[in-house]
Structure 1
Amino acid sequence: MHNDSLHDVAERGVEKSNVLAPFMEPGDVPWFPAWGVDLDEPINDVGVLISDWIERRPSDRWALIAGPIPSSDRHLWASWHVATRNEERDSMVARTIDAEFIRILAGTHQIRLAFDRIGPREGDDHVWIVYLPRTTGIDSNGLLEGYPAHDPAIEQMASDLMPWLNGDLRTARPVPNREGADRLEIPSSEPISGIESSMIMMAASADIR
């Protein structure tokens, strides 16, 4: 897909389903279960990191994504909603929920491309540990009925995962940034203020064939 057509295709996806319309509206959203980790040293061997991650995570409801990728809690919730909606309807493209979430986050039907865009890279100095709760319910229009409640047990699991990363908890929440936009191939002409909405529209476009 060419960069200059990505925005138009994504817009058609939003207009077609309106599934992500609530995530495009102003207003506060809850904190997404994602924990940023500032690494003591930049990633040297991403293959080893991912292998260790798969061994250590509690289940495939946990994902590890590159630091620059998420633009906001709203962006993460929007991608989560599409992924868990597909899970609920037994219509996932990927075989596991973490891969489906990464695919939606990347705005693509191609699993390998999704991991290339979303996964940590050598030289990255921070990552996000992400937990993917099951959907709390979807109404007849495909819209989310409510956000999952905060779960202290999940927060403890995330805390237990951090030591092997050799880093510190990142106190800041995700924000739109140029590096993340570049990795998702959002045109450089897009202003910082428009990156979040462009990324949410990309999530909507992921299931357009």
Structure 2
Amino acid sequence: MEPGDVPWFPAWGVDLDEPINDVGVLISDWIERRPSDRWALIAGPIPSSDRHLWASWHVATRNEERDSMVARTIDAEFIRILAGTHQIRLAFDRIGPREGDDHVWIVYLPRTTGIDSNGLLEGYPAHDPAIEQMASDLMPWLNGDLRTARPVPNREGADRLEIPSSEPISGIESSMIMMAASADIR
């Protein structure tokens, strides 16, 4: 891996057969069907890159290791960080699936490989084929197919996170990562 590169994040885009028409039912069913609270379901436009997902995961799992999470569960903590806010409800409003969305991301939050004394990640978790199979098993329930593209910065995701429309597409990833980094500033 080149300096600055990150591995593939355990997130799978799902193109839905039909747009979401009842978010409440979708979320209730998701919570019941997912293997554990280390799995999250987020709106399709939100992640801007694997780097954005890893940065948010790092802050969330560091908080988990330090017993300093704002949320009660790791999935809610990750969603809060990814949304760049200290407020859990606002986080779900910003990045949770919405009625009319035509794709979502299934996200697995691996346990940390360790945090050093400076609060830095000791290494990325190894790829786990069993996790990939679990994600694959969830897709038919969502009535969708695997999206082959990885997350990319887009205007809709920026708008949901209230990033100014004057921000060029090329700067959206950096803005989203900065929002995630600032979620714990008090």
TM-score past 0.5 threshold: yes
Tell me: CA distance 1:167–1:115, structure 2 relative to 1, closer, same or farther (3 Å): same
Aligned partners of 2:3, 2:114: CA distance in 1, in Å?
Answer: 22
TM-score, normalisation: structure 1: 0.87
Give 1:191 deviation, angstroms: 0.4
Deviations along 1:108-154, one digit per CA (max 9) or x if unpaired, are 11000000001000000000000000110111111111000000000
Decide which of 177, 180, 183 is 1:200's aligned counterpart.
177
Which has the larger helix fraction? 1
Partner residue in 1 for 2:137 = 160
Identity %: 100
Give 1:164 deviation, angstroms: 1.0
Tell me: CA distance 1:205–1:69, structure 2 relative to 1, closer, same or farther (3 Å): same
Aligned partners of 2:172, 2:114: CA distance in 1, in Å?
Answer: 28
TM-score, normalisation: structure 2: 0.98
CA RMSD of aligned residues (A): 1.5
Deviations along 1:33-87, one digit per CA (max 9) or x if unpaired, are 0000000100000000001000100000000000000000000000000000000
What is the aligned length?
186
Aligned partners of 2:2, 2:112: CA distance in 1, in Å?
Answer: 20
Partner residue in 1 for 2:83 = 106
Unaligned runs of 5+ in 1: 1-23
Give 1:25 deviation, angstroms: 10
Aligned partners of 1:59, 1:205: CA distance in 2, in Å?
Answer: 27
State the SS of the aligned residue for 1:65: strand
Give 1:26 deviation, angstroms: 6.5
Tell me: CA distance 1:123–1:25, structure 2 relative to 1, closer, same or farther (3 Å): farther
Unaligned runs of 5+ in 2: none
Tell me: CA distance 1:91–1:25, structure 2 relative to 1, closer, same or farther (3 Å): farther
Aligned partners of 2:107, 2:3: CA distance in 1, in Å?
Answer: 24
Tell me: CA distance 1:25–1:115, structure 2 relative to 1, closer, same or farther (3 Å): farther
Aligned partners of 1:97, 1:56: CA distance in 2, in Å?
Answer: 17
